Structure 1
């Protein structure tokens, strides 16, 4: 393996990660957990109250969170009218808490899988059931880095041409690496 996912033949995937790669990926996922946070009403101990909790009605102010939890209606490029804003707010109120919980669970699954390597590198084998969670977590990381880097589809080729002295270079390298991981995982589970 060359640091990308390969099929295990049973719907799962495996990847060889060195200690640095595992550490970077784990650190990024921990940062994702901090970014997502517990969400509104996420601190309660009452499971029944949590079941009936309503989420926020406004989009997050942080652009990265707004990308992870976008409005369900309207075109992001055009201002929404009152009807579209009301529909988006209603949809968000009933779905964002569950979406946050799923994104947290996906990130935690990645962290736990990497913790299974014991802080060292090695071959990480993912059962088929974990692969969609890893895909979601990798996608969330890539979306977040894309927002932080202000990447637009038409600009993506320029990322490969950044000079070494550019302060964005480490984030760009992570962004491109996550894209390669995501693509190889998708290929591995569809083989």
Structure 2
């Protein structure tokens, strides 16, 4: 992938890059996998009679069991040491039920922008600033999910030994990080 560049045109600011077919397939696959997880979560939401009457959607009221989804859809409030957990659990449950559908919708919309703008066989990519914002959101989601699977934390080295099964995936994680940083730099005035 080429570094993102910033170009002004008669129709406004455009951000450009180019990706080969292999890179496009990897990115599309990762975004598709994260979108699939989110779509499955949305489909698991219980049916609510009141929501059907009022038109207000409700989502799951319990935190996801899948660690990747827990990272993408965290609790709204974290328990503090010594605080009553029951109140926090009730608050998280209510907030999750109210807001999770819109959060998932936003994440799916961001992922669809990548899927719609990356040529399936590689090639040039041209984005508007709004599309670039969606890319940044979707890249963050993919990095969070992949980082969770790989167990990435502050102590993870930049490079793993070649015999570590996570090594190739860590390279992909670093590539996504570079892509996101390059796009951020191109967006900056």
TM range (shorter): 0.7 to 0.9
* Secondary structure of the corresponding residue to residue 7 of structure 1: strand
Query: Are 2:7 and 1:16 equivalent residues in the alignment?
Result: no
Could you tell me how far 1:57 is from its partner in structure 2? 1.0
The structure whose RCO (Cα within 8 Å, separation 6+) is larger is 1
Could you tell me how far 1:78 is from its partner in structure 2? 8.8
Q: TM-score w.r.t. structure 2 length?
A: 0.86
Closer, same or farther: CA 85–12 of 1 in aligned 2, 3 Å? farther
* Secondary structure of the corresponding residue to residue 17 of structure 2: strand
Aligned residue in 2 for 1:189: 187
Residue among 168, 171, 181 paired with 1:170? 168
Residue among 52, 69, 75 paired with 1:71? 75
Could you tell me how far 1:34 is from its partner in structure 2? 1.4
Q: TM-score w.r.t. structure 1 length?
A: 0.85
* Secondary structure of the corresponding residue to residue 68 of structure 2: helix
Superposed CA offset, 1:35-57 (max 9, x none): 11240467x9xxx9494121111
> Equivalents in 1 of 2:164, 2:181: separation in Å?
26
Closer, same or farther: CA 30–54 of 1 in aligned 2, 3 Å? same
* Secondary structure of the corresponding residue to residue 15 of structure 1: strand
Aligned residue in 2 for 1:128: 129
**Any residues of structure 2 matched to 1:96-175 within 5 Å, and which?**
96-114=100-118, 117=119, 119-155=120-156, 158=157, 160-175=158-173
> Equivalents in 2 of 1:16, 1:161: separation in Å?
26
Aligned residue in 2 for 1:58: 62
> Equivalents in 2 of 1:189, 1:25: separation in Å?
20
Gaps in structure 1 of 5+ consecutive residues: none
Superposed CA offset, 1:73-124 (max 9, x none): 115899861111111111111000111111111111111111xx2x322220
Q: Is the 8 A contact 1:162 1:169 kept in 2?
A: yes
